[in-house]
Amino acid sequence: MGACMSASHFRHAGSRGVLVLGLDGAGATTILYQLVLGKRLETIPTLGLNQESVTVDGLELECWDIGGLDQVRTLWRQYSRDADAVIFVVDSSDVERLKLASTELASLYKGHSKRNSIQHDRPLLIFANKQDTPTAVSTQQVEKVLKVNYIHVDTFRIFPCSANNRESLMKGINWLVTELKGRSPVRPHGDA
């Protein structure tokens, strides 16, 4: 089994696959569990994959939180072809790491084939996390550093948030659910 398993193995019929990505320490796992459990959990860097489901406005989201450590980021592309959407989490209080996040996000969307990159028509939700810290930059600054307008994605939104505040997360999730409801689901790779 191992790292070559496709995300289609984790999909329920009728659900939408959502990649939850971000550099280590950005808060992706904390956000995932805030959405699922409604409370903040202390987490450690994800070394592989956390898979959780959350239903919002009648739509089941199968969330695949793949670790953001340098060695684990290579898995991002493996799961990308089965994803209906991407949630990309950045630490908006660390501008230097935002530059690295920009590089990783761009590389996720530029591939040499459909097989190894996210398709441009899949919605991208960017959470500018840690807005509750005094050093956080604005969502406009996050957008500028990430250079989102230069990657090949048709639909994206950046939402300010704090992983400690579920309400701030739900604004972004509600936007994503609205986007997904207006689209046909991606057929998981390997389905007949």
Domain assignments of the chain as residue spans, ordered by start? 14-181
Both tokens of residue 77?
Answer: 């592309």
149 is in an annotated binding site: no
28 is in an annotated binding site: yes
- Does pLDDT of 23 surpass 70? yes
46 is in an annotated binding site: yes
Nearest partner of 161 among 24, 41, 32, 8, judged by Cα? 32
Q: What's residue 5's pLDDT?
A: 43
Q: For residues 97 and 115, what is the distance between their CA atoms, to the nearest angstrom?
A: 28
Q: What's residue 159's pLDDT?
A: 98
The set of long-range contacts for 41-45, using a CB threshold of 8 Å and a minimum separation of 24, is 45/69
29 is in an annotated binding site: yes
| Better pLDDT: 74 or 26 | 26
84 is in an annotated binding site: no
129 is in an annotated binding site: yes
Distances, alpha carbon 136 to alpha carbons 41, 74, 101, 142, in Å: 21, 28, 15, 9
25 is in an annotated binding site: yes
Q: What's residue 192's pLDDT?
A: 39
Nearest partner of 54 among 43, 38, 71, 73, judged by Cα? 38
59, containing H or E segment:
strand 59-66
Considering the segment(s) 14-181 as one domain, its CATH architecture is: 3-Layer(aba) Sandwich (3.40)
How many other C-beta atoms lie within 10 A of the C-beta of residue 101?
Answer: 25
39 is in an annotated binding site: no
Both tokens of residue 76?
Answer: 């991002």
Give pLDDT tens digits for 83-137: 999 999 999 999 999 999 999 999 888 754 455 556 778 899 999 999 999 999 9
43 is in an annotated binding site: no
Mean pLDDT of the chain: 85
27 is in an annotated binding site: yes
- Does pLDDT of 7 surpass 50? no
Q: For residues 156 and 78, what is the distance between their CA atoms, to the nearest angstrom?
A: 21
51 is in an annotated binding site: no
